[in-house]
Chains A and B, each alone.
Chain A
Amino acid sequence: MDILNGLMLGLDSALQPVTLLYCFIGVFLGTLIGVLPGIGALATISLLLPITYHIPPTAAIVMLAGVYYGAQYGGSTASILLNLPGTPSSAVACLDGYPMAKQGRAGVALFMTTIASFVGSMLGILALILFSPAIAELGLKFGAAEYFAMMLLGLIAASALASGSPAKGLSMVVLGLLLGTVGTDVNSGQARFDFGIPELMDGINLVALAMGMFGIAEVVSSINQVRGSDVKEKISMRSMTPTRKDVKDSIMPMLRGTGIGSFFGALPGTGASIASFMSYAVEKKIAKDPSRFGNGAIEGITAPEAANNAAAQTAFVPTLSLGIPGDAVMALMLGALIIHGIQPGPMLMSQQPDLFWGLIVSFGIGNIMLMVLNLPLIGMWVAILRIPYRVLFPAILVFISLGVYSVNNNTFDVLMVAAIGSMGYLLAVFKFEAAPLLLGFVLGPLMEENLRRALLLSRGELSTFIERPISAGFLAFGAAILLWSAWGSLKEFMRAREKEADAQQV
């Protein structure tokens, strides 16, 4: 099926009233939680997962995706007005957005970030349309060995590029893989790590894991956090009008940001946050006068915003074309697909074209909705920033409990959330990142299956992974990342030792 036919089919499925409605709900909620610091896309998507059991699969994925890219729009609002990022990927927008607000240009900053978000998203969608079919075609040639190698590469990239040390990231991936083995083994029918608890035979509930890991830990660390001062600015349509210079200065940075974002979004393991930091660094490096950055340079907000929105769209490339999630949010999307009995992978595009193309067209529609939500209605979001967290978090906790309960109508899963939440908080205290864990958890069963199949086909010869060129390529790339990050942390370790030795001598 060529792209044009695909888009027509997608238009047909995306314009269904049900899909449109869920698309709107998704982007609305996305903007809302993006604006609010202390609750992120990951937690919200986990909260919404149980609801998706009751709605058609296309509408469900459209809604969850809407939350994800909608949050990228909302995130910069709090960055600009409160100097407090609403989402991790909009942390960069604080650097120049908040100074702009202090100069009385908050309206312009909000307007330009929305435009940049829109441009980045739309071009990101274009990249998604152009590259996904080709990559899926390539994916059809993959056997079990290639799949295993590719997933391994994705996990290595995700853990090595996670903030903090690569060993900590890797350990989280392995812990996630291990948690993924809980439950009945598909090959032998043997129940593993069930400890005699019948509820554990089906494995750990993805919703419980995600909510425990992200929801609970996020709530505990946000309670009693001092939020920035109140929002004083009144944002009127007039105050949002940018000058001709603002627009002119933003065009090239937005395009560069989009390019950087599209690349890092599609790469497994990297994502919106890294993309926005990268594009900020690039703009600063090539600027004629780098000292303007940090003092309200318009490129300092438009480039990273375009980048993180483009990344949010191209993140769907590996997810939809290969069935390999690049980050934790995409892992949840895959989880949602599997819940609906849809097997993600290169066959998705040919077997479920209405879902695939419907989703892509809905991204376009969703972004248009986001423009409307963010420009004329910006006042509403600013007002929402005034809701105190102490009112919000008890509601979030009850929603978490009820959401998990509703999956299987049993309270065991709620207790499971408490247990996983304790672990999640402990990990947060020790500064271990939970996102690679979730990725490992979702990929674990797939990896084990492909590993077993690959070795069965090769009669137990491990060399099969190296003899097959594509698989060998993935493994070499993964090994390079590992070596590079090991070298980096070794250097850092030596430097810390030297510093300490110096300090002792003084």
Chain B
Amino acid sequence: MKHKDMQDVLGGLGLAALGVFAAVYAQRYEFGDLNRMGAGYFPVTLGVLLTVLGLMIAVPAFFRSGPAIQVKWKTFALVMASIVAFALTLKVLGLILATMLSVVLATLADNDTRWKGRLMIAVGVAAVTYLVFGLGLSMILPIWPWSP
């Protein structure tokens, strides 16, 4: 047994930890009894249940081998960066520039896109979002940094 089934070990332990957290955190809400459940009854029960299930997944997995975990860190980080950048800059830079920034970050994740293509996609997507969301659905959005 060289590789444990790390997918299930880590996933199960993570869920169990989440379950413990929920069950402990929800102690601050009134628990009540079966007749009159308080706000805490359901969450605490679910937390315990999640802990049990998480352990049921993790423990047997520890005794068997499984596929190695593959994480596309770079892709994942850039996709997250793209969304977070959009969220943080939308109100400051406006729709067009925030979209372009977000697209540039996202396309960095693709191995085949060069800078020329990247900028073309950025301009294209910005134009489409402006047409669809700005003009088409007339959402209330700042379009440019200097827009009110």
B36 at the interface (CB under 8 A from A): yes
Say which residue of A168, A188, A422 sits within 8 Å of B80 (CB atoms): A422
State whether A397 touches B82 (Cβ < 8 A): yes
B22 near A178 with CB under 8 A, answer: yes
Which residues of B are interface residues toward A (Cβ below 8 A)?
Answer: 1, 7-8, 10-12, 14-15, 18-19, 22, 25-26, 29-30, 33-39, 42-43, 46-47, 49-50, 53-54, 56-57, 60, 63-65, 69-72, 75-76, 79-80, 82-84, 86-88, 90-91, 99, 102-103, 106-107, 109-113, 117, 121-122, 124-125, 128-129, 133, 137, 139-140
- Which interface class (under 10, 10 to 19, 20 to 34, 35 or more) fits A? 35 or more
Query: Which residues of A have CB within 8 Å of B86?
Result: 397-398, 401-402, 414
11 contacts between A and B (CB under 8 A): A174-B19, A190-B30, A223-B110, A224-B75, A224-B111, A390-B110, A395-B129, A405-B90, A411-B87, A415-B87, A497-B63
A459 touches B42 (CB 8 A): no
Instruction: Give the complex CA separation of A500 and B65 in angstroms.
Output: 8
A400 to B129, CA, bound (A): 11
Chain B residues, Cβ within 8 Å of A421: 79-80, 83
0/1 string, A437-466, CB within 8 A of B gives 1? 000000000001001100110011110000
B69 & A394 in contact (Cβ 8 Å cutoff)? no
Partner of A192, one of B12, B19, B26, B110: B26
Closest to A54 in B: B137
**Residue numbers in B under 8 Å from A401 (CB-CB):** 83, 86-87, 90, 102
Given the interface contacts A192-B29, A390-B112, A393-B106, does A429 sit within 8 Å of B64 by beta carbon? Answer: no
A462 and B34: CB pair below 8 A? yes
Stretch from A100-108, A213-221, A290-298, A376-384 contacting the other chain? A213-221
Nearest-neighbour CB distance to chain B for A506, whole angstroms, equals 14
Q: Is the CB of B46 within 8 A of A174?
A: yes
Q: How far is the CA of A390 from the CA of B113 in the complex (A)?
A: 7
The verdict on A397 contacting B106 (CB below 8 Å), with A174-B49, A192-B29, A216-B83 known, is yes
In the complex, chain A residues whose CB is within 8 Å of the CB of B57? 165, 167-168, 171
Chain A residues numbered 108-149 whose CB sits less than 8 Å from any CB in chain B: none
Contact of B121 among A394, A406, A500 (CB under 8 A): A394
Question: Which residues in chain A, 324-346, are within 8 Å of chain B measured between CB atoms?
Answer: none
Q: Which residues of A contact B12 (CB under 8 A)?
A: 171
A411 touches B88 (CB 8 A): yes
Given contacts A178-B43, A185-B39, A397-B102, contact A171 B34 (CB under 8 A): no
Task: Find residues 398-434 in chain A having any chain B CB closer than 8 Å to their own CB.
Answer: 398-402, 405-406, 409, 411, 414-415, 417-418, 421-422, 425-427, 429-432
Interface string of A42-59 (1 = CB under 8 A from B): 000000000100100000
Measured CA separation A426–B124 after assembly (Å): 31
Write out the residue numbers on chain A whose beta carbons fall within 8 Å of the beta carbon of B37: 187, 451-452, 455
Classify the interface of chain B: helix, strand, loop or mixed. Answer: helix
Q: Which residues of A contact B84 (CB under 8 A)?
A: 415, 418
CA of A12 to CA of B73 in the docked complex: distance in angstroms?
53
A477 on the B face (CB < 8 A): no
A492 shortest CB reach to chain B, Å:
10
Q: Which residues does chain A contribute within 8 Å of B56, judged by CB atoms?
A: 167
Partner of B79, one of A185, A220, A395, A462: A220
Q: How far is the CA of A259 from the CA of B109 in the complex (A)?
A: 45
Asked whether, in the complex, the Cβ of B8 is within 8 Å of the Cβ of A402, the reply is: no
Contact A402 B42 (CB under 8 A): no
Query: Which one of A181, A394, A500 lies within 8 Å of B106 (CB-CB)?
Result: A394
Contact B125 A220 (CB under 8 A): no
Give the residues in chain A near B18, CB-CB below 8 Å. Answer: 175, 178
Q: Is A391 an interface residue (CB 8 A)?
A: yes
Please name all residues of chain A whose beta carbon is closer than 8 Å to the beta carbon of B15 when the two chains form the complex.
171, 175
| Nearest-CB residue, chain B, relative to A418 | B83
Given contacts A190-B29, A460-B34, A496-B64, contact A398 B75 (CB under 8 A): no
Smallest beta-carbon distance B100→chain A, Å? 9
CA distance A174 to B129 in the complex (A): 37
Q: Is the CB of B133 within 8 A of A193?
A: no
CA distance A425 to B129 in the complex (A): 26
CB–CB A418/B53 < 8 A: no
B residues less than 8 Å from A411 (CB atoms) = 87-88, 90-91
Return the contact of A223 from the options B36, B63, B64, B109 (Cβ within 8 A). B109
The interface residues of chain B lying within 8 Å CB-to-CB of A190 are: 29-30, 39
Q: Which 4 A-B pairs have the closest CB atoms?
A: A460-B35, A430-B11, A414-B87, A460-B34
Determine whether the beta carbon of B42 is less than 8 Å from that of A181: yes
Contact pattern, A 232-274, Cβ under 8 Å of B = 1, otherwise 0:
0000000000000000000000000000000000000000000
Our pick among A193, A409, A422, A432 for the contact of B43 (Cβ within 8 Å) is A193
Cα distance A173–B86 in the bound complex, in angstroms? 31
CA distance A370 to B86 in the complex (A): 36
CA distance A401 to B85 in the complex (A): 10
- Considering the chains assembled together, what is the distance between the CA atoms of A170 and B53 in angstroms? 8
